[in-house]
Structure 1
């Protein structure tokens, strides 16, 4: 005798099946960098969600390295199971500084991301190799009530500096919606980096004008990364212009042992 499920029972079964599928894969935590925001991960997140990965796109406060790392720490502690931790640009510094104790972080992915060593500051690491033109595109700092100074990229310079391989109209929206970073965050020394104890993967663009490709290659080699991929023709926002390549790397990181 055949048994037939009611509509509600079938829906429950499908939800349970879907939850089990998601639970079998690591959660991907995406940390954006300066002059960006969580929506910058839209293309990558859509691909990963389609492939069954749970996603958390953190709203990085951009208030200071320790402050931001502590914030992400709290997010990580509330996620059960294995985690692939991903950082773009300054967000790479943040994922380098988090305390992974009592979390499920299993691997790291640096997307045009900074990976400072203990004691290094973002400001000095960014000058290690020639080629960055970021400084000349910044608007005058905006004084905040807490005494810190917020930095923005001038909107008229945003497209060519930050996202040259993104359609101009889309880059214009990104420039208008950019999140500022406290200038003081670039001067905080990093702590013992996570990349010394966890497997790492690096992906970056050959036309990155914020952080020179030579710097990315240096950081990947220093971290003994499992892979370092340079995307030809890509700007600093490789996750927006080449989401499939970035998502594929994250999925490879999810297979780390």
Structure 2
């Protein structure tokens, strides 16, 4: 059993945008956030620049951020690609939380796809994380799951809710939680659904060089989200077939995000690294 059930998304709330708009007060030493609280702006690093931490998504690794890493390093930023074992939010968020705790000074945390789910969990309570950037990513409310946010959205992953083998190759792994297996996206689904907008040869390479995602990751609920207390930027690919634009729009409006739309599929961080980098830089500038 995969623990996948076809439940409807819970991402449409009664107070999406108004309750989540971030208001900057006075000199910028405090902010009012979606939770109604006033939170101090963390101290800046000695060189005045935040550390940029990048979190990759499921079925991927840190190399998916290569284009952004090169551009950000060229601008003089300390860039770090965070670990992501793809074992489920409880484990993955723990890895990221510990990783972030080793970084001194302000942080801009950018995450792609499932990495957004992980980053939103992990950043909660870390006073150094001053900005979140979601790139074609999930931004769940507390208690929501990937399967809930996928059901009814039109995602290429949605058929897996009723027939996992229509989307995934399923492989057992040692020490798996009860009922969990590793899932690899079938090449035809990956090429047409994940990598649309990339050259065919590149899509074929990515399809067979995936990092598996444990299926329990799809059903584990999110904890208290960091986007309620941290300013948010979002990049939405208008041709995204994994997290369709309408679903992203609802989540990002709820989070009070500054939204940029690009003509790209789900892997816009690979096909449009310059545009994604500009949004990360915009988030970094606001930490000044």
TM-score range relative to shorter protein: 0.7 to 0.9
| Counterpart-to-counterpart distance in 2, 1:34 and 1:249 | 22
1:74 alignment counterpart: 98
Please list the CA deviations of residues 90-144 of structure 1 after superposition, one character each: whole Å capped at 9, or x if unmatched: 00000110144355111000000100001111110122x5321124562231111
Q: 2:268 aligns with which of 218, 235, 238?
A: 238
Partner of 1:159: 191
Instruction: Give 2:148's aligned residue.
Output: 124
**Larger % of helix: which?**
1
Q: Deviations over 1:26-84 (max 9, x none)?
A: 11111001111100000111111111111111231110101100100111011111100
Which of 213, 223, 231 is matched with 1:181 structurally?
213
Pair 1:59 & 2:92 matched: no
Instruction: Pick the structure with greater CA Rg.
Output: 1
Higher relative contact order (CA 8 A, sep 6+): 2
Return the alpha-carbon distance in structure 1 between the equivalents of residues 250 and 126 of structure 2. 30
CA RMSD of aligned residues (A): 1.7
Moved over 2 A (4+): 21-24, 99-103, 134-140
Partner of 1:45: 69
In structure 2, which of residues 105, 109, 133 is the aligned counterpart of residue 109 of structure 1? 133
> C-alpha separation between the residues in 1 aligned to 2:103 and 2:216?
30
Gaps of 5+ in 2: 1-44, 160-165
Structure 1 unpaired stretches of 5+: 1-20
Aligned pairs, number: 234
CA offsets per residue over residues 167-226 of structure 1, 9 Å max, x none?
11111111121111111011111111000000001102111110110011001110011x
CA shift in 2, pair 1:183/1:98, >3 Å: same
The answer on 1:143 being equivalent to 2:172 is yes
| Deviation (angstroms), 1:230 | 1.7
Residue 5 of structure 1: aligned partner: none
TM-score normalised according to structure 1 size = 0.87
Q: Which residue of 2 aligns with 1:197?
A: 229
- Among residues 247, 252, 257, which one is paired with 1:215 in the alignment? 247
CA–CA distance in 1 between the matches of 2:150 and 2:46?
38
TM-score between both structures, scaled by the size of structure 2: 0.78
Match of 2:279 in 1: 249
